[in-house]
A and B are shown apart, each in its own frame.
Chain A
Amino acid sequence: MMVDALLAAAILAVALATVAARGTFTATALFIGYGLLLAFAWVRLGAMDVALTEAAIGAGLSGALLLGAAARMRPHRVALDRAPGRAMTAAIGLGCAGVTAALAAAILLLPDPALSLAPQVAAQIGTTGLGNPVAAVLMSFRAVDTLLESAVLVLAVIAAWSLAPKGGWGGPPGLVQPQAQGGPLALLARLLPPVGILVAVHILWIGKDAPGGKFQAAAILAAMWMLAWMAGRTAAPPVSARWLRLVVAAGPALFIAIGLLGWLAEGAFLAYPPGLALPIIMVVEIVLTASIAVALALLVIGPPGRRA
């Protein structure tokens, strides 16, 4: 109890500090800390899958993305809107307080214990061959949501690239990174990737029976690629590279193809033939991991920059 109370207090304090921070770098650093604390909270709630995802994507990749954005904004003056007047501030405060009170009251009035589909998942999980109920929900019961979210990632890459400034199209994405000579970055860029890749493969594979899976594994793989890129050890391929685009599209395309085959063979989109569910799901997971890893890294790297 004591631990939970402290954790909750810390989350609130860091959240407040994030909002109150004036500098973009300070706010981003606090936001990353906030994400890590949230991950702990999920661990305390027994939701290991969510904790892993929160740490990898919520704190890690989003943090890197925000740091990159802050670095890009630094040379430019940021125009600040005029602060609202005193009456407006009071009205906004009252409105927020009202919403908070309504949310708090609603949470206290929810049924306890909370209604859940967990028993139904447990009853049906046998048909999927999976041991991890979260994986069964993501890849079988609600597979179409996962499929569409993976398509959203492709769309996100297209959207990010569409923001390329004039004259930058076709070149490598992101800002060119100088090669790090010595120092911690150069050392980490040599040491971490082999370990990271191993960890990612492990997390992907155990995802079928234990917390883990493609999103977490892909986030680690993306981080390893970005580490090498930030140290200047590898250049990002140009956005016109066919293989790069193929890798991003491969996972969702395969998932949709499997879904349509399920419709033709079994009569329903994303229905898996009995007995074959597990191998099909694992193949989709592996290909999706590659696509998601590249897409996540490309999102952090950003659109192609202006060419000289």
Chain B
Amino acid sequence: MTAWGALPMLAVMLPVVGMVLALPLGARGAERLTLALLPVGIVLAIGTAAAVQAAGAPVVHLLGHWAPPLGLALRADGLAAAMLVTAALVVAAVALFARADFGTAAGATETRAAFAFWPLLLALWGAINLAVVATDLFTLYVALELLTFAAMPMVCLSGTRATLEAALRYLMFALLGSVLYLLGIAFIYAGYGTLDVVLLAGRARADLPTHVAVALMTAGLLAKTALLPLHLWLPPAHAGAPPAASAILSALVVKGSFVILVRLWFGVMPGLAAPMAAQVLGGLGAAAILLGSVAALRQERLKLLVAYSTVAQIGYLFLMVPLLVAAPGDEAYAARAWTGGVLQAVSHAFAKAAMFLAAGLIAARIGQDRIAGLAGAARLLPVPVLAFGLAGLSLMGVPPSGGFAAKWLLLTSAIEAGQWGWALVILAGGLLTGGYVYRVMAAALTGDGTQPALRRPDKRETIVLALAVVSVVLGLLPLAAFGLVQVGRLDLAP
């Protein structure tokens, strides 16, 4: 139990209580409740980050005063704090954006989509927060359940046949992932008598049951994170959902299972060096970067292009794994690879949310989302097109964006570790990303030969631009500011 330990606990419970109350409140009440909770959630997340930074150590809350292994703890370290702040800001932006699509005017009757959207959004927020601060592998499973059961209906909010099929396919992958993860948990408990990540870190043995357990859980989490070749569910699901839902799904939901994977690999079993397995994960990440980017280049529809771009950007996250496993006991080196991975997760969250929301505004205004039909879009919608471009810079890794800092850190770590292959993949991925972002920008910037139509200013444009600007400005932060994400890294903890 540490001072300010209640902050992460409140950050988890706030959206959960909102989700529960949203049901009796109905669509309009739930919308207003969500908007009221947003500033509180942001304050809690920033407060947690400040507490972690000030203490230089994780803040911990023991639930019911019971300490693990008997009880459960919530523990915010630097990674958790960074993800809490990211989630709070992205959820806030998406909620403000979504009022136009899922808002309910006073006196209007409740609609199905509006009824469902707000509690689902709150549930996703709570699930992400729980996934980054829980330390018990079973509590993390509950977080994954919340995440899946909130994300799946988000995919098919529009109720069309295609989105229902996409949602069902997502559910199959996600449930398979849950089953594998749960099976792994059973082995861990039988082998160690505890499921607490912090306690397990000191006890993990390199025996067969442990390896089987970690392999099962890793496979399950990869299915949920959509790492190639388990990405098949992602493009139709993320491209078919309404823009606000796509933004949350691509920006945050796939990161929840990724953070759990990081806890498993570098929390539970840092001692069990598995260089071969780490190389395999890195290889899958590299394949995702290259194949995902090529697939994005070939898409006809804007939202599918953005969805395939997510497949590729998830690949970068996994480059962190072989780089960290290769850490030759060099603290500065490990810190760089770690910061690169976390920064990639954070900057991609902002950039991808901006991209999906911009794509949504563009598609809504010109009535379709074929890339070939984007001519004149920049004149009609200069702000969303600008936001799309800025977010694209961050995904490409052009300085001074957040994506640049992330990819630069990964690149230099790869070179330092002598793993040149990853460096080449990062560079090639950047070029390919530039290619597909250029395709969209070039199409949008061509005139369509007609008289300029009237611009319709839309308050939502500001939200989209703000997200894109954040994804760029992250790169301007001095590297010292990223000391936060090092706090409480389990493989560093004494």
Binding site for B on A (CB under 8 A): 102-103, 105-107, 109-111, 114-117, 120-121, 124, 140-145, 148-149, 151-152, 154-159, 161-166, 168-170, 240, 242, 245-246, 248-249, 252-253, 256, 259-260, 262-263, 266-272
B305, chain A: closest CB distance, angstroms: 27
Interface string of B104-127 (1 = CB under 8 A from A): 000001111101100110010010
Beyond the given A115-B193, A120-B69, A152-B145, could you list 17 further A-B residue pairs with CB under 8 A, ordered by the A residue number?
Answer: A106-B209, A115-B189, A121-B70, A142-B71, A144-B72, A145-B139, A145-B142, A154-B20, A154-B119, A158-B19, A158-B119, A162-B113, A162-B115, A163-B159, A170-B109, A256-B20, A270-B63
Are A269 and B13 CB-contacts (below 8 A) given A142-B71, A143-B64, A154-B20? Answer: yes
Whether a CB of chain A sits under 8 angstroms from the CB of B36 is no
Whether a CB of chain A sits under 8 angstroms from the CB of B194 is yes
Whether a CB of chain A sits under 8 angstroms from the CB of B424 is no
Q: Which residues of the partner chain A approach B213 to less than 8 Å between Cβ atoms? A: 106
A302 to B98, CA, bound (A): 27
B55, chain A: closest CB distance, angstroms: 18
B226-271 CB contacts (< 8 Å) to partner A: none
Q: Which residues of the partner chain A approach B482 to less than 8 Å between Cβ atoms? A: none
A268–B63 CB distance below 8 A: yes
A272–B70 CB distance below 8 A: no
B20–A253 CB distance below 8 A: yes
B191–A110 CB distance below 8 A: yes
Q: Which of B119, B145, B192 contacts A115 (CB 8 A)?
A: B192
Whether a CB of chain A sits under 8 angstroms from the CB of B187 is yes
A83 to B120, CA, bound (A): 36
A272–B192 CB distance below 8 A: no
A124 to B64, CA, bound (A): 13
B212–A102 CB distance below 8 A: yes
Whether a CB of chain A sits under 8 angstroms from the CB of B157 is yes
A278 to B130, CA, bound (A): 28
The segment from B148-156, B292-300, B436-444, B450-458 found at the interface with A is: B148-156
A166 to B160, CA, bound (A): 10
Whether a CB of chain A sits under 8 angstroms from the CB of B65 is yes
Q: Which residues of the partner chain B approach A169 to less than 8 Å between Cβ atoms? A: 110-112, 115
Measured CB to CB, the nearest residue on chain B to A164 is: B112
Chain A CB within 10 Å, residue with most, of B26, B120, B193: B193
Between A and B, 11 residue pairs with Cβ closer than 8 Å are: A114-B190, A144-B72, A148-B143, A152-B142, A155-B149, A159-B120, A163-B153, A163-B159, A169-B111, A268-B1, A269-B6
Q: Which of B112, B113, B149, B193 contacts A156 (CB 8 A)?
A: B149
Q: Which of B64, B190, B193 contacts A270 (CB 8 A)?
A: B64
List the 10 closest pairs (A to B, CB-CB), nearest first: A115-B193, A162-B116, A106-B212, A106-B209, A245-B24, A169-B112, A162-B153, A270-B64, A159-B153, A268-B65
A117 to B67, CA, bound (A): 13
B146–A151 CB distance below 8 A: yes
Whether a CB of chain A sits under 8 angstroms from the CB of B4 is no
A240–B110 CB distance below 8 A: yes
Please report whether the interface of chain A is mostly helix, strand, loop or mixed according to DSSP. helix
A268 to B26, CA, bound (A): 31
Are A124 and B65 CB-contacts (below 8 A) given A110-B187, A154-B23, A253-B21? Answer: no
Measured CB to CB, the nearest residue on chain A to B192 is: A115
**What is the number of residues of chain B that contact chain A, defined by CB distance less than 8 Å?**
64
A169 to B136, CA, bound (A): 39
A162–B157 CB distance below 8 A: yes
A242 to B23, CA, bound (A): 9
Q: Which residues of the partner chain B approach A154 to less than 8 Å between Cβ atoms? A: 19-20, 23, 119
B242, chain A: closest CB distance, angstroms: 12
Binding site for A on B (CB under 8 A): 1, 6, 9, 13, 16-17, 19-24, 26, 61-66, 69-72, 109-113, 115-116, 119-120, 123, 126, 130, 136, 138-139, 142-143, 145-146, 149-150, 152-153, 156-157, 159, 164, 183, 187, 189-194, 207-209, 212-213, 215
Measured CB to CB, the nearest residue on chain A to B9 is: A269
A254, chain B: closest CB distance, angstroms: 10
A250, chain B: closest CB distance, angstroms: 9
A110–B70 CB distance below 8 A: no
Q: Which residues of the partner chain B approach A120 to less than 8 Å between Cβ atoms? A: 69-70
A281 to B83, CA, bound (A): 34
B72–A151 CB distance below 8 A: no
Q: Which residues of the partner chain B approach A246 to less than 8 Å between Cβ atoms? A: 24
Q: Which residues of the partner chain A approach B22 to less than 8 Å between Cβ atoms? A: 158
B116–A106 CB distance below 8 A: no
B156–A106 CB distance below 8 A: no
A149–B111 CB distance below 8 A: no
Q: Which residues of the partner chain A approach B112 to less than 8 Å between Cβ atoms? A: 161-162, 164, 168-169
Are A117 and B69 CB-contacts (below 8 A) given A144-B139, A162-B115, A245-B24? Answer: yes
B191–A272 CB distance below 8 A: no
A110–B116 CB distance below 8 A: no
Are A249 and B23 CB-contacts (below 8 A) given A105-B208, A143-B63, A152-B145? Answer: yes
B381, chain A: closest CB distance, angstroms: 30
A300 to B139, CA, bound (A): 26
Q: Which residues of the partner chain B approach A263 to less than 8 Å between Cβ atoms? A: 6, 9
A269 to B146, CA, bound (A): 20
A139, chain B: closest CB distance, angstroms: 10
Q: Which residues of the partner chain A approach B149 to less than 8 Å between Cβ atoms? A: 152, 155-156, 159
Q: Which of A159, A161, A252, A259 contacts B150 (CB 8 A)?
A: A159
A245 to B153, CA, bound (A): 19
A138, chain B: closest CB distance, angstroms: 12
A58 to B409, CA, bound (A): 49
B16–A256 CB distance below 8 A: yes
Q: Which residues of the partner chain B approach A121 to less than 8 Å between Cβ atoms? A: 70
Chain A CB within 10 Å, residue with most, of B69, B130, B190, B215: B190
A249 to B64, CA, bound (A): 23
Chain B CB within 10 Å, residue with most, of A162, A249, A252: A162
B370, chain A: closest CB distance, angstroms: 26
Q: Which of A111, A157, A259, A270 contacts B23 (CB 8 A)?
A: A157
Q: Which residues of the partner chain A approach B64 to less than 8 Å between Cβ atoms? A: 140-141, 143-144, 262, 268-272
B13–A271 CB distance below 8 A: no
A161–B110 CB distance below 8 A: no
B71–A141 CB distance below 8 A: yes
A106–B208 CB distance below 8 A: yes
B138–A110 CB distance below 8 A: no
A176 to B324, CA, bound (A): 59
Q: Which residues of the partner chain A approach B109 to less than 8 Å between Cβ atoms? A: 170
Are A149 and B70 CB-contacts (below 8 A) given A115-B191, A262-B64, A272-B64? Answer: no
